[in-house]
Amino acid sequence: MEAELRDKPSFANLRVKMQPGDAIVAEADAMANMSSTIQMTTQWNGGVVQAILKRFLGGESLFVNRFTTDQGGELVITQPYPGDMACLELKGNTMFLQPGAFVACEPGVKLGLGWAGWRMLIGGEGLFRLKVSGNGRIWFGAYGGIFQKEIDEEYIVDTGHLVAYEPSIGVRVGMAGGLFSSFFSGEGLVTRVNGPGRIYLQSRSFGGLAAWTNAHL
Amino acid sequence: MSQIFSGGVFSSDLSDGRAGVEIELLSSHVCASTAEGDAFVIPYEQCSVEQGGYSGKMLFCRNPDRSITIFSEDPSFLAALDEASRGLLSEQLAAERAKSKRQSRRGSLFVTGIVVGAAILIVLLYYGVRVGADRVTKALPVSLDKQIGKMAYQAMPKEGTEVHDPQLVDPIRGIVSRLAEHAKVEGLDFDLHVVDSPTVNAFCLPGGTMVVYTGLISASESPEQLAAVIAHEMSHATLRHGVSRISQSMGLSAAVSLIIGDSAGLLAAGEEFFRNASINSYSRQQESDADGEGVMMLHKAGIDPSGMPGLFEVLKEEHGEVPEALIWISTHPDHETRIAETKMMIQSLPDKNYDTIDLDWSEIQSRVTNSVEMKSE
């Protein structure tokens, strides 16, 4: 299965050239177009209970679509908002994704939920993370550009900019500075990440877009 | 025998900078081997340990220049490392355990603080809005009370037909006028309606719209006693208890809109309140305040205020158990207390020669067509 991320970084989408017998799992409503030789089946996102938990706690869809083909074909998968997409290859390792970042994966990838902690809820980041593990490629998306960073010590990321990270990364939510500067600098709460490990960041945040739009209404 | 743990390694020597490994705790060092056959070694005496990661339970072992980091999330890795290193890492591991406990305690405190703080904020906000709405209500012009009273009077079910007999209504209207001169608030119109009903009750809506049931006229032994009830009810209007109760009954959003200057919610809540709630559903404090203000009004108008405890005595003696028909007294604080309280109030008043209300009371009572229907046990 050949996969290519196109129109990066603003309007990235994934074109998959499927060979007979290939399969790919994608987020509900992610398919933009496909050959008529590809069959789509809808399934619970990891079982009924798991799907409900992922929907309400992980910000993911209740259902995922599985695309298969006997004759081969082309499939284009996209995300609902403008921004970049990235590919990760899992080789038995685990990654955590922010709610809503998952776009597609190969069938060998397992989608689960990881507890994020009460503080993350206060930081507006949700109580759970999507935990992807197993073997295979995974494609995830972001609002704005995606860049990765290797960190070893503590590193500060504004809430809403963290997209994915390795399990070796410690994540906690805290104030940007003192009580006064945290509330009047516009930064409020920030995410403090601790290495070693790799983090993926998005250059824009939905919270920022919402605040900007609100200010102009 | 050495133990094997699954985990990972970070090293710039690896193509991706990281790899999954099997970790072996040997006698002098920790050794991590990748599936490709690369091995990474950190002697225990050079190892610095740190706990962290997503779960907070991952244990990292690092060499002095931090070029190699070996880590595992296996719950027994920490204890095994402590044992294998023969006390070399005990101090560091104990410090990490303590740090982890501290963080977990701080986390719990933080969450508890947020939850308790949020709960306190909600309660303060709720009462703040209620108190704010009450204050704003009291600051509103009395014309709003009149509007509410008129709307409520039209909307509320009537217990009988209105009596228009001037021989019956005019004397009572005279009592109302005499008391109205001493109303605490100016601008109220005490518009009297006498309603033919055996119910021993009277009420005064916000703004002054007033209803006296013929049942109350029959039950009163003297015009002073009726005047006492009327003064009490008029006091609810002059003390603006009605609008106060309405603002308390309003939803939070209506209360907020009232505070920011929109009184439409208050009008709607007023109509709704008087249509559904009992007319006399005032708080005990409001009832006591109305007793006090009523006594004061009677005193100023030159009407003997002892009619108030007098009526309570009559009702108590004649109907020890308060029957359903005696709504006026049954919705008020218990009459023993009220008799004592009103008597005390009257005693504290300066001496005054009260004029008796010059009415042929038995003639007035005889014009009441309905008799009070008492429920027998």
Q: Does B53 lie at the interface with A, CB-CB under 8 angstroms?
A: yes
The number of distinct structural domains making up chain A is: 1
Q: How far is A193 from B231, CA to CA, in rounded Å?
A: 72
- Which of B359, B210, B107, B6 is CA-nearest to residue A170? B107
Q: Which of B21, B54, B59, B112 to mutate to test the interface with A (most CBs of A within 10 A)?
A: B54
Q: Report whether pLDDT(A138) > 90.
A: yes
Asked if pLDDT for residue B164 goes beyond 60, the answer is yes
Q: How far is B209 from B152, CA to CA, in rounded Å?
A: 9
- Specify the residue for token string 């305690």: B105
Q: Are residues B220 and B150 in the same domain?
A: yes
Identify the CATH number of the domain in which residue B19 sits: 2.30.29.30
Q: Which residue of B has its CA nearest to A96?
A: B54
List all residues 6 or more positions away from B237 whose beta carbon is below 8 Å from its beta carbon: B145, B149, B183, B185, B188, B190, B204, B205, B206, B207, B208, B210
Please determine, for residue B278, whether its predicted confidence score (pLDDT) is greater than 60. Answer: no
Q: Which residues span the domain enclosing A27?
A: 2-215
A5's CB contacts (< 8 A; 6+ apart) are A12, A13, A14, A85, A86, A87, A139
Of chain A, the percentage scoring pLDDT greater than 70 comes to 84
Higher pLDDT, B250 or A119: B250
What pLDDT score was predicted for residue B1?
57
Residues B43 and B178 in one domain: no
Total domains present in chain B:
2
CB contact A149 to B (< 8 Å): no
Q: Does one domain contain both B70 and B204?
A: no
Domain range holding B44?
Answer: 4-96
Indicate whether B49 and B161 sit together in one domain. no
Q: Is B225 exposed, middle or buried (0-12, 13-18, 19+ CB in 10 A)?
A: buried
Q: How far away is chain A from the Cα of B46, in angstroms, using its nearest Cα?
A: 18
Across the interface, do A167 and B73 touch by the CB < 8 Å criterion? yes
Q: Are B283 and B291 in contact (CB under 8 A)?
A: no
Q: Could you tell me if residue B239 is inside a domain?
A: yes
Is a pLDDT exceeding 90 seen at residue B199? no
Burial class (CB in 10 A: 0-12, 13-18, 19+), A198: buried
- Residue A138, min C-alpha distance to chain B (Å): 17
Q: How far, in Å, CA of B320 to CA of B330, rounded?
A: 11
Supply angle C-alpha B149, B155, B159, rounded to 5: 100
What residue in A sits closest to B70 (Cα-Cα)?
Answer: A196
Flag whether residue A174 sits within 8 Å of chain B, measured between CB atoms. Answer: no
- Rounded Cα distance between B267 and B251, Å, is 13
User: Complex ipTM, two decimals?
Assistant: 0.78
Answer whether residue B340 is part of any domain.
yes
In the prediction, which pLDDT does A187 show? Answer: 59
Cβ-defined contact of B54 to A167 (cutoff 8 Å) = yes
Residue B113 included in any domain? no
Q: Do B78 and B171 fall within a single domain? A: no
Residue B11: its chain A contacts at CB < 8 A? none
Alpha-carbon separation of residue B303 from A76, B193, B219, B294 (angstroms): 93, 22, 19, 11
Q: Are residues B73 and B195 in the same domain?
A: no
Q: Are B197 and B160 in contact (CB under 8 A)?
A: yes
Q: Same domain for B187 and B80?
A: no
B232, B331: one domain? yes
Q: Where does a domain end: B96, B112, B131?
A: B96
Q: Are B46 and B38 contacting, i.e. CB atoms less than 8 angstroms apart? A: no
Q: What is the pLDDT of residues A14-60, one digit of tens each?
A: 999 999 999 999 988 899 999 999 999 988 776 777 777 766 666 66
Higher-confidence position of A164 and A211: A164
H or E stretch covering B129: helix B90-139
Report yes or no on B112 lying in a domain: no
CB < 8 Å to A168, chain B: 8, 10, 52-54, 58, 60, 71
Which CATH number do you get for residue A85? 3.60.160.10
* Domain end marker among B96, B131, B149: B96
- The answer as to whether B129 is a domain residue is no
Do both B214 and B341 map to the same domain? yes
Give yes or no: residues B78 and B197 share one domain: no
The Cα of B75 is separated from the nearest Cα of chain A by a number of Å equal to 15
B259 CB within 8 Å of a chain A CB: no
